[in-house]
Structure 1
């Protein structure tokens, strides 16, 4: 069986054909600029914008970014620091958490949800408590926009002794296929 090749990004693609393939964000941004579209936002919002353009539909409205610049936290931070509503998971916060929790800290789903749900009354002490309370929980589903992460998790389950090079080769093979020809479980045979 001959596998189809990924088409070049072009205005002649349909939205459905565009969505069949894996595209890097850099490719999507360059294509959006070429078409005169905004090239900002998440990879998913950029893909939504391009799909709408290719199908001749109105562009999705941009969603405002959370947290105004004036409300951003600045060092020094303490456990008593109140986190403004809508504050993003910033490098300033990452530095605080790395200092408090060590190199194992990351803004995982429970921490991102904590910040998204904050109404402006939470302190960094509450964020630290939330971090400790959510450790040891079962791995949660990885969002659709994190395709490589989802693939990697499944690949490591299926290939516990596999090397990084093996993973990367499997990922390259997987992402070169159109979505409708990929194995259902997300791994490459």
Structure 2
């Protein structure tokens, strides 16, 4: 650890020591197996599950039970119409994707941004979702470099920040900086942030 690069995982770490480094999802899953923890969940959930175990705490569990719902639509089988109301159980299987493709046409793509919009708008109709899809597509075509990148996709967010700060450098340069930076300490959230000092990796 003396050179400031990420150490190998050690069950003797404290939670804070563990959270001070970037860990790939595959590594988190392997660590969960080592500690006999569930591998299910997002990166953030796995990180905090592991940190809790390292600090001697029990795995966090939901404190509330999901509200029981009735008359839910079966999104995988129902004959959908534009007036169908979105609920918090909507899924994006072949039936739902097929509906949007039939309404929008062959150009339809079920992007992460679109799915996030739908899931964030229960109570709206599928027609509203179609209108939102066109708005999202128009915005992304107008400014492709500003298309939102999900926070958990740390790699792509880092490369975008690198390119914005160093337009004269190549993507390969950005990848070299990423490979070096991800082995350095991070903030408590575990995400790697671009900084001008990262360019030192190009001198190696």
**TM-score interval, normalised by the smaller of the two chains:** 0.7 to 0.9
Structure 1, unaligned stretches of length 5 or more? none
Give TM-score scaled by structure 1 length. 0.73
Match of residue 111 from structure 2: 106
Give, in angstroms, the shift of residue 131 of structure 1.
2.0
State the secondary structure of the residue aligned to 2:139: coil
- 2 CA distance for matches of 1:29 and 1:158? 33
Q: How many aligned positions are there?
A: 182
- In structure 1, the partner of 2:15 is 15
Q: What are the superposed Cα offsets for residues 104-158 of structure 1, whole Å, 9 maximum, x if unpaired?
A: 65221x6403323313x522x2111012234428848755433223212212212
The 8 Å contact of residues 14 and 55 in structure 1, kept in 2 or not, is answered as yes
C-alpha displacement of 1:24: 1.1
What pairs with 1:1-189 in structure 2 (closer than 5 Å)?
A: 3-62=3-62, 71-74=73-76, 80=82, 82=84, 84-88=86-90, 90-92=92-94, 93-94=96-97, 97=100, 100=104, 102=107, 106-108=111-113, 111-119=115-123, 122-123=125-126, 125-134=127-136, 135-136=138-139, 139=146, 144-179=151-186, 185-186=194-195, 188-189=198-199
1:51: Cα distance to partner?
A: 0.8
TM-score when scaled to structure 2? 0.69
Q: Give secondary structure in 2 for the equivalent of 1:82.
A: coil
Deviating runs (4+, > 6 A) in structure 1?
Answer: none
Structure 1 CA distance for aligned equivalents of residues 109 and 167 of structure 2 = 21
Query: CA separation in 2, counterparts of 1:95 and 1:172?
Result: 40
Aligned to 2:202: none
Contact map agreement 1:111 1:131 (CA 8 A) in 2: no
C-alpha displacement at 1:94, in angstroms? 4.9
For structure 2, the 5+ residue unaligned runs are 200-204
The higher-RCO structure (CA 8 Å, 6+ apart) is: 2
